[in-house]
Amino acid sequence: MHYTTQMDAARKGIVTDPMRIVARKEKMDAEALRESIAAGKVIIPANKNHTNLDPEGVGQGLRTKINVNLGISKDCCNVDLEMDKVRLALDLKAEAIMDLSCYGKTREFRRKLVALSPAMIGTVPIYDAVGFYEKNIKDLTVDEIFEVVERHCEDGVDFLTIHAGLNRQTAEKINSRNRITNIVSRGGSLMFTWMQMNDRENPFYEYFDRLLEICQHFGVSLSLGDGCRPGCLNDATDACQVEELITLGELTLRAWEKNVQVMIEGPGHMAMGEIKGNMMMEKRLCHGAPFYVLGPVVTDVAPGYDHITSAIGGAIAAANGADFLCYVTPAEHLRLPDRDDMKEGIIATRIAAHAADIAKGIPGARDWDNAMSRARAALDWETMLDLAMDPEKPRRYRESSTPEHEDSCTMCGKMCAVRNMNRVLSGKDIQLND
């Protein structure tokens, strides 16, 4: 039976190969997964032109996935360096990579990325449009904007971030100047600028059906962007953010009518006490569609450490229903991240995702931790290091400070609680002073 998208197949009762792969990874029944996809609660971003994709599911009841941002810009346009970052992201088991390229040979880089990566690929086409046509944002035509969208889909991109919810009605609330940071979304600011300077409606909102036809043709998923996400704690959960979210919920239903898979993007900067309520609000207003969050960053005063502030927020968000975490690096708000920044950001985000999966009771999530605990109880250092999320760093620490006794470390030495409990429970004598 013919189908266009994973949602179309699911609604026709077809269990596709990507569904079988995801069901196996998630340790769940393929038919149950199909039902969740049919209902829009789970998506499998899978462009028919991404031929080497190793598919992943995003949504209710599945492991929390993470995304890594990279790409070439005018100030940092080294394609080889960005490809090295791609390989690092894949080595560190990121499930998705977003190409945010906005300068130079973007298509060349994008095609290399799709060809190399088994992880799902996302892009923000409006970033690319300005550089591709070498025009000011106000001079882009509607047709040119949609031509870039179609080009990204042709190249094999699995999901697109589209800021369709920032319409003229919501833009009026931005003009009221009640925010400290106005719009901090790059894509949102570009669409706002285009609307203001042309005195027209957001083309992605006005011609949303045209966008859906393109996505349907290639099997591409929509990541409905949060152009009004809060850029500081003060702006969180305000009228701009909530009104855009309501619009995204309406667009979600329109996308589902065309069998186009959707996830919703969310905040942003937000105090910890607001995160749970925001997760509940998104799921309610957007009909249970998967939720993709940037952070949330839980304090505004830690530049250089925002991989930590966002991991705190990401863990809370995912434990309360967020399905997909976008990594944040120590370089956030400061510069384009380098390779080391990327690694710190990926590991911090993976910690947040895994901690949330344990809290949510995702099948098998605790197995890894239990294996580590058994190795620790046995003082089996090699197994502990092998099981570590990032084996390289703890191995380096271990080797940098050699203990007197191999079954201890230089923190406690012979006073190691685990070592002494193992010895006394097995009937051995404990000698601490010799």
Give the per-residue pLDDT at 78.
Answer: 77
412 labelled ligand-binding = yes
pLDDT of residue 411: 84
Kindly report the average pLDDT of the chain as a whole number.
Answer: 94
Q: Coil, helix or strand for 263?
A: strand
- Binding site annotation covers 186? yes
Between 369 and 100, the more confident residue is 369
CA 355 to chain centre: 16
pLDDT in tens, 142-195: 999 999 999 999 999 999 999 999 999 999 988 887 899 999 999 999 999 999
Predicted TM-score (pTM) of the model is 0.94
Cβ neighbourhood burial of 149 (10 Å; 0-12, 13-18, 19+): buried
Q: Of all helices (H) and strands (E), which one includes residue 69?
A: strand 65-70
Residue whose tokens read 């667009």: 251
CB 63 within 8 A of CB 367: no
pLDDT of residue 425: 87
Q: What is the pLDDT of residue 73?
A: 73
Quick one: which H or E segment has residue 121? strand 120-123
Q: What is the pLDDT of residue 76?
A: 64
C-alpha distances in Å from residue 250, one per residue of 32, 195, 253, 256, 299? 26, 21, 5, 10, 31
Asked whether the beta carbons of 138 and 94 are under 8 A apart, the reply is no
Residue type, 386: D
Q: Is the pLDDT of residue 219 over 80?
A: yes
Q: Comparing 195 with 416, which gets the higher pLDDT?
A: 195
Is 228 annotated as contributing to ligand binding?
yes
Q: Is 131 annotated as a binding residue?
A: no
Q: Is the pLDDT of residue 343 over 70?
A: yes
Give pLDDT tens digits for 257-272. Answer: 999 999 999 999 999 9
139 is in an annotated binding site: no
Q: Is the pLDDT of residue 229 over 70?
A: yes
**In the predicted model, what is the mean pLDDT of residues 223-247?**
96
Domains, in order of start, for the chain: 45-360 (3.20.20.540)
Give the pLDDT band of residue 214 (cuts 50, 70, 90).
very high
Q: Does pLDDT of 397 surpass 70?
A: yes
- Check pLDDT > 70 for residue 75: no
pLDDT at 47: 98
Is 265 flagged in the annotation as binding? yes
Is 215 annotated among the ligand-binding residues? no
Q: How confident is the model at residue 434 (pLDDT cuts 50, 70, 90)?
A: low
416 is in an annotated binding site: yes
Using an 8 Å Cβ cutoff, are 165 and 247 in contact?
A: yes
Q: Residue 81: how many CA atoms within 13 Å on its side-chain side?
A: 13
The yes-or-no verdict on residue 37 having pLDDT over 80 is yes
Residue 287 counted as an annotated binding residue: no
Question: Does 235 appear as a known binding residue?
Answer: no
Q: Please determine, for residue 405, whether its predicted confidence score (pLDDT) is greater than 80.
A: no
pLDDT at 317: 98
Residue 226 annotated as binding?
A: yes
Residue 227 assigned to a binding site: yes
Instruction: State the pLDDT confidence band at 79, using cuts at 50, 70 and 90.
Output: confident
Name every residue whose Cβ is closer than 8 Å to that of residue 227 and which is 6 or more positions away in sequence. 163, 165, 166, 183, 185, 187, 188, 189, 191, 192, 244
Establish whether 187 is an annotated binding residue: yes
- How many Å is the Cα radius of gyration of the chain? 23
Report pLDDT for 187: 94
To the question of whether residue 292 is assigned a binding role by annotation, the answer is yes
